[in-house]
């Protein structure tokens, strides 16, 4: 293929899907962004490649005719600005909303993201992870646990708004309550007017005379929260429970993050678990192995009687159906498996030895 190799520019094969092309572009755009110390020329190259390959119609033309099919029609950096109308790249094939924060808000940088130009997006609280230790039987049958979590909580003095109670809250004079201001910024495409977070109100659109003395104006402070957590029956070691809105509180009344509890199950002295099945071992005598017997087996559901047939060999495993763990994402129960170990005695009395010799077994 003559001309530029757009597939090589993005590091993808000619059979790559649109999702793979988009993911490759996102990674390279982050890596080569000039504001992050990247190579501006490389950044232009990958943008040009994505403009073509990210549009199925243009990709077909490129696959058939090569990059020469697009020569002379591109704007700076390989972008075709001819499709730009009223804030939308109707012909570019690039979804600026989907590209996220490659430019720290790709669409916002150019003022055509389609989002409201009002206040900055809320500063949601961070998610949290914690380990929750539970017993073997609590995991098998479920339980309710009460836990105490150290985290950022909403300031109860200012109710999360950051202002000292009684202080007058006013509209920010710098941005007029929008939370954003317009400023000139140099980009790889030249000088452009872009929106930026208001430096005075930090995007809130409001100002107040005095910050809350308890939280220093953040609306949050370090604290503890007591929670009751329902452990579902059948949960396994390493699985997680997500509690929405129970993580760190957000700044200035923004939503809280989530709390993710990683389950750690304490080992049992009596039972071993594999998924929803239980495994145990049981020793029997030679007599029981030879003649057969009925023995009691301890399960998580209580004792059950297991019939040992005549001539059972050591190492034989029996399944007790439905005596395992309740299935977390299904119906029914796992099974209980018992491995039989025949106890071979040592130092038999002479009479017993003679009896065995006479049996010739």
The model's pTM is: 0.58
Burial of 238 (0-12, 13-18, 19+ CB in 10 A): exposed
What Å distances lie between residue 336 and 241, 258, 318, 330, CA to CA? 26, 37, 8, 18
The pLDDT of residue 188: 62
DSSP 140: H
Tokens of 186: 């140099």
Check if the beta carbon of residue 33 is closer than 8 Å to that of residue 43: yes
The pLDDT of residue 201 is: 78
The strand pair at 180-187 and 259-265 is best described as: unpaired
More confident residue, 228 or 162: 228
pLDDT tens column, 118-177: 444 557 899 999 999 999 999 999 999 999 999 999 999 998 888 899 888 888 888 988
Q: Which CATH class is domain 6-110?
A: mainly alpha
189 token code pair: 């495409």
DSSP states of 279-332 as a string? EEEEEEEHHHHHH-EEEEEEETTEEEEEEE-TTPPTT-EEEETT-SPBPTTSSS
Whether residue 177 contacts residue 205, with contact meaning beta carbons closer than 8 Å, is answered with yes
Instruction: Using pLDDT thresholds of 50, 70 and 90, give the confidence band for residue 69.
Output: low
Length of the chain: 361
- Going from the C-alpha of 2 to that of each of 12, 78, 340, the distances in angstroms are 18, 17, 73
Counting residues of the chain whose pLDDT is more than 90, the rounded percentage is 49
For the segment(s) 272-359, the CATH number from 3.30.2320.20, 2.40.110.20, 2.60.260.20, 2.170.190.11 is 2.60.260.20
* pLDDT of 74: 40
pLDDT, averaged across the chain: 82
289 against 353, higher pLDDT: 289
Q: Is the pLDDT of residue 326 over 80?
A: yes
| 9 Cβ neighbours under 8 A, 6+ residues apart | 45, 46, 48, 49
Choice between 86 and 295, residue whose per-residue pLDDT is larger: 295
User: What are the sequence ranges of the domains in the chain?
Assistant: 6-110, 272-359
CA 150 to CA 122: how far, in whole Å?
A: 23
pLDDT of residue 122: 59
Residues 265-291: tens digit of each pLDDT: 999 999 999 999 999 999 999 999 999
Check residue 143 and give its pLDDT.
96
Which range in 33-37, 39-43, 121-125, 140-144 is most confidently predicted, on average pLDDT? 140-144
The span from the CA of 54 to the CA of 45, in Å, is 14
pLDDT band at 226 (very low <50, low <70, confident <90, very high): very high
pLDDT band of 190, cuts 50, 70, 90: low
Q: Find the range with the poorest average confidence among 8-22, 40-54, 96-110, 195-209.
A: 96-110
């Amino acid at each position: 293929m003559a001309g530029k190799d757009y597939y090589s520019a993005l590091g993808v094969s000619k059979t790559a899907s649109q999702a793979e092309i988009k993911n490759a572009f996102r990674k390279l755009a982050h890596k080569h962004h000039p504001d992050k110390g990247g190579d501006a020329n490389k950044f232009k190259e990958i943008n040009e490649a994505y403009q073509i390959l990210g549009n199925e119609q243009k990709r077909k033309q490129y696959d058939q005719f090569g990059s020469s099919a697009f020569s002379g029609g591109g704007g700076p950096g390989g972008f075709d600005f001819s499709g730009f109308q009223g804030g939308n790249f109707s012909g570019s094939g690039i979804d600026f909303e989907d590209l996220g924060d490659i430019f720290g808000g790709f669409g916002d940088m150019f003022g055509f993201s389609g989002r409201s130009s009002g206040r900055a997006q809320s500063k949601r609280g961070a998610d949290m992870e914690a380990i929750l230790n539970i017993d073997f039987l609590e995991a098998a049958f479920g339980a309710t646990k009460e836990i105490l979590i150290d985290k950022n909580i909403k300031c109860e003095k200012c109710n999360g708004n950051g202002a000292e109670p009684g202080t007058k809250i006013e509209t920010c004079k710098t941005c007029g309550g929008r939370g954003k201001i317009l400023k000139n910024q140099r980009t790889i495409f030249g000088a452009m007017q872009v929106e930026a977070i208001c430096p005075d109100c930090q995007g809130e659109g409001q100002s107040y005379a005095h910050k809350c003395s308890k939280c220093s104006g953040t609306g949050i402070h370090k604290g503890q929260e007591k929670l009751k957590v329902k452990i579902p029956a059948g949960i396994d070691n390493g699985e997680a429970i997500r509690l929405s809105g129970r993580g760190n509180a957000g700044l200035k009344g923004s939503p809280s993050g989530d709390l993710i509890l990683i389950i750690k199950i304490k080992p049992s002295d009596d039972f071993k678990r594999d998924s929803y099945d239980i495994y145990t071992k049981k020793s029997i005598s030679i007599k029981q192995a030879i003649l057969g017997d009925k023995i009691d087996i301890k399960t998580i559901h209580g004792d059950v009687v297991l019939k040992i047939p005549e001539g059972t060999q050591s190492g034989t495993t029996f399944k007790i159906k439905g005596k395992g763990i309740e299935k977390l994402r299904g119906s029914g129960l796992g099974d209980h498996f018992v491995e039989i170990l025949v106890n071979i005695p040592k130092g038999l009395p002479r009479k017993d030895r003679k009896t065995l010799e006479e049996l010739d077994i």
